[in-house]
Each structure stands twice: as structure tokens, then as C-alpha cells.
Amino acid sequence: ELQLVESGGAVVQPGGSLRLSCAASGFTFDDYYMHWVRQAPGKGLEWVSLIKWDGVTTDYADSVKGRFTISRDNSKNSLYLQMNSLRTEDTALYFCTKASGDDFDYWGQGTLVTVSS
Amino acid sequence: DIQMTQSPSSLSASVGDRVTITCRASQSINTYLNWYQQKPGKAPTLLIYAATSLQSGVPSRFSGSGSGTDFTLTISSLQPEDFATYYCQQSASTPYTFGQGTRVEIK
């Protein structure tokens, strides 16, 4: 069974840092692009970042560019999101998603990041 | 960035009704359009990809149409488990963008 399990969410002060992880299982991890998508409380979905199977090609939403870094460890079947200089507007549920071509066919249950003083 | 606009933002319908949700892109995205369903407290699930293709395991009462800038998600006969929020998403170019969502409620 395919699973994506996020972890690392926490309450952090503005300006702080956090590293999210996503453990993948049930598929050949290094065959697929992976993405992070977030959802602020009571709001819609916002794409955050993507990483190609090789771990070299990445892309980011303008709202996080220069502050967040996506990475992966294919030997550990794991995806990461390093979040620095956090702002209150980064408060959200962060989902790890697997890409199938041009869509997101599997999603984790999310990990909650709260940025508050 | 490509803007995605869904309508309506919410709707009330009864079991058995035919429901149509529209999504408009700010520029042509060919058929790079996906639809997701999200129930409260849950992750989104993929319903339709590439504008018209039904994801495996999704009931055939769901269908998608459109190309270019105008797209439609149709539920042919609304079932109790279909009450949820629906999002369109373009994958033509990054940043991938979602519509604001359409909440389908029980009448």
C-alpha cells in the first residue's frame, strides 16, 4: 500500500526555522517528482515546491522562494522541506504529495506548522 | 502566474441532483487541468486528471470536460459521500495554482 507520512510540524516563533519530513513507502520513490502543498486554516490549497526524481531540479512558489529548501534522500525514501525565516502567513497544514505525470495522485495526511509569538 | 477561478464558491444540492462546477484559467492551459475532492479534516484526493480522465477507483458519476481556458466538473447524480469541497488545479506551468474551491453542501 502506498503511504506518505509527514512529520516535523510544530509551533515556532516568527523568524524561526523548521524541517518537515515525509516518509514514502509502497512505490519506487526515485521514479517520481514530489511536491509540497499547503493549506492555511480554513483556506484553499497552495502549491509550495517540487523536486525532480534526481534531487537536482527544484522549483518554488514566490511566497517561499529564498526561505524554503526542498530536498530528498532516495536511499531513505524521504522528502524534506527546510523552512527558514518563518512568517505568520506560513501557518498551514503542509501536505507531501506524489506526482503522477502532471497531477498529484497521492497525498499524505499533512503536518501542521504554526508560526506565532 | 496562471490564475484559476472556480464558480460557484458554494452550492446547495440534494441527493440525486446533477451538479456542475466550472473552472476558468487566466490563459490557455490546453488540458493540463486536474480536479480534487477534499472532505473536512482529510487530505485532497484526485478525481480527474488531464481535464477528462477519471482517476482509478473514482466513481463514473464524476466527469470532466474542457480545454484551453474553460473546464467543467460534473457529478451526474449526487451521492451523500460527495458532499465536500472541490478544487481545480492547473499543471501547465509553475507555480501550479489551484482554484479557490467549491463547497458542495446538502440542501
In this complex, is the C-beta atom of A30 within 8 Å of any C-beta atom belonging to chain B?
no
**Interface list for A 34-93 with B (CB within 8 A):** 35, 44-47, 50, 59-62
CB hemisphere CA count around B37 (13 angstroms): 17
The SS3 call for residue A107 is strand
- Out of A44, A59, A105, closest to residue B98 by CB: A44
In this complex, is the C-beta atom of A31 within 8 Å of any C-beta atom belonging to chain B?
no
**pLDDT tens-digit readout, A26-68:** 999 999 999 999 999 999 999 999 999 999 999 999 999 999 9
**What is the secondary structure of B35-77 as a DSSP string?**
EEEE-TTS--EEEEETTTEEPTT--TTEEEEEETTEEEEEESS
User: How is residue A76 written as a grid cell?
Assistant: 531513505
**pLDDT tens-digit readout, B48-104:** 999 999 999 999 999 999 999 999 999 999 999 999 999 999 999 999 999 999 999
